[in-house]
Chain A
């Protein structure tokens, strides 16, 4: 059942929220031991919330647009009174004294938070193997990673633990695990969703995004979480993020199928859609041929549906990964300075405060987090600032310019989400740079602050899911469910279902 099906059945009194919760808790009891999607399952809280919703329905009260829908929430998002760890030892046992704005919005929409999901520590990674509490496994194949950093959220949706999940995306952390787990994942425009209560990694890149079994469900969750928030000074005006307070995205799938992509201009990003092999000027090193084949089929599907598709060059996409791996660690090194053993989380004693700080951070952070802090501190340090951080910020300018030029000719762009299908656990942990290459197709949207969505589109030669990525300009995701970005996503979802014989949101 999709989230929208559950919400309408619960609102109509045809199903109790309590039975929905029990059904999902049963699935968690069956498979969570193998998958490890959650850091913390909130069974009691979920049952209590469900009973509250059922009582409201029984009284005839109006209920929210996600009434009774279980949502898995990434453990980088603060939940008041419930442990929030960011999968780090340094925050183990911390109970935030406030809710993230998105969590408040979920509760206001009568959604049911069913648990906090595992991630790469502080969202730094592409496989969820860098969690201090052990890796999450891909529900499609337990020997493979789910992607990351929102791997727990992606796995929870793919395993049927919850039809909806929230992730956060700094360089692809919603879209890449969505692709590897065969679910829909969307990164909103920077500022469209409040970051208040999202534990900061790289503040100029971080966005919270929806993950779901269907495009319509993702749009519904987006509409619930988007909008202006006085507690995040970078959040955008609600006038651009659609009206709230009505039942969101009713029948959105039908409307979108009718509107389709007829006449839309869609550009295929040359730099991200080639294998970069001999004789090929443009391309991504390590981009798998089977992934590329699915992208080609997706492009054909869009053409068949009436879109005008042409190649487009975004030369700075070649520099995007390098720029990202200077900017994100630089911002992280500053943001993570707050973990000093003084106000919350772990403290390891020392004779002086400086020693206590060092002891705490050395014991509390994992290897990848330390690596990024080191990289960022170095990139910002005297003598290297201009050569590395300063240059990376100029790449960001080039990318914004080139993308702006592309969007004068095209409504949307298309490319793979991840270079390969899900890889085996341990395959890329020995060499950090190899792991970083996972993000090559996703970082451009973060650097530009643009929205992007990954839609499952068939499988690779190993039978594992492939994701196709649609990119749009600022606020291309508004209005939720109805703009070109969503319409094209629905066309791809339907085409994928036609090709494989499976329906969306099975």
Chain B
């Protein structure tokens, strides 16, 4: 069973998720996430090494099969219609702030 989630971990996860929280929000969130994870303790405690060794994970309902299509030219979404929805566009492209020189 994993240790209870800490405030520092919540702050770290927020960075991974590209979200920012105030200190007060971090406090509240830490408690809420801990409560949900406590409830999930019965799942985390599931012993898959002894009695259920043959229980493989199911990531998806079954019958996931490869789907192929013939490689033909077909109409796609209209570029102007798609770009019209972009917050900032330039020369038929999406414009974003500088990405060079950023911390990874």
Chain A residues in the interface with B (C-beta under 8 A): 94-95, 97-98, 190-191, 204, 230, 233-234, 236, 318-319, 321-323, 325-326, 333, 337, 340-347, 349-359, 361-362, 365, 370-371, 373-375, 377-378, 381, 383-384, 387-388, 390-398, 400, 431-433, 436, 448-449
Contacts and interface: CB of A to CB of B under 8 A. Distances in A.
Given A353-B98, A394-B57, 12 more contacts: A97-B82, A230-B69, A234-B60, A344-B85, A347-B87, A354-B102, A362-B19, A371-B29, A378-B33, A388-B2, A393-B57, A395-B46
B35 to A, nearest CB: 5
Nearest to A333: B17
A272 B58 CA distance: 22
Contacts of A370: 19, 21, 29
B17 A377 contact: yes
A325 B40 contact: yes
Residue of B17, B67, B84, B88 most packed against chain A (CB within 10 A): B17
Interface of B: 1-2, 5, 9-10, 13-14, 16-21, 29, 32-33, 35-37, 39-40, 42-44, 46, 48, 52, 55-64, 67, 69, 77-78, 81-82, 84-88, 94, 96-99, 102-103
Nearest to B96: A353
B12 to A, nearest CB: 8
B36 to A, nearest CB: 6
A391 B56 contact: no
B32 to A, nearest CB: 5
A436 to B, nearest CB: 7
B61 A381 contact: no
Contacts of B61: 190-191, 204, 448-449
A371 B60 CA distance: 23
A321 to B, nearest CB: 8
Residue of A236, A323, A387, A392 most packed against chain B (CB within 10 A): A387
A359 B97 CA distance: 13
* 4 closest Cβ pairs, A-B complex: A449-B61, A393-B57, A347-B87, A396-B58
A319 B47 CA distance: 13
Contacts of B84: 95
B43 to A, nearest CB: 4
B52 A394 contact: yes
19 contacts: A97-B77, A233-B67, A318-B42, A319-B42, A319-B43, A333-B17, A343-B94, A349-B97, A352-B99, A361-B17, A374-B13, A378-B10, A387-B44, A393-B58, A394-B48, A394-B58, A396-B58, A436-B36, A449-B61
Given A352-B99, A378-B9, A400 B58 contact: yes
A388 B40 contact: yes
B17 A373 contact: yes
Nearest to B68: A233
A357 B97 CA distance: 10
Contacts of A362: 19-21
Given A353-B99, A374-B14, A375-B36, A191 B63 contact: yes
Nearest to A395: B43
Residue of B2, B18, B33 most packed against chain A (CB within 10 A): B18
Given A325-B40, A350-B97, A398-B52, A374 B10 contact: yes
A318 B45 CA distance: 13
Residue of B19, B62, B78, B98 most packed against chain A (CB within 10 A): B19
Contacts of B42: 318-319, 322
A362 B14 CA distance: 10
Contacts of A350: 97
B40 A326 contact: yes
Contacts of A355: 97
Contact of A365 (B9, B19, B56, B63): B19
B97 A343 contact: no
A191 B18 CA distance: 32
A358 B44 CA distance: 31
A297 to B, nearest CB: 31
Contacts of B98: 351-353
A252 to B, nearest CB: 27
A394 B43 CA distance: 9
Contacts of B94: 342-343
A141 to B, nearest CB: 29
Given A391-B48, A433-B36, A95 B85 contact: yes
Contacts of B48: 391, 394
Contacts of B19: 358, 361-362, 365, 370, 373-374
A234 B67 CA distance: 9
B60 A204 contact: yes
A345 B17 CA distance: 18
B58 A397 contact: yes
A354 B102 CA distance: 8
A396 B14 contact: no
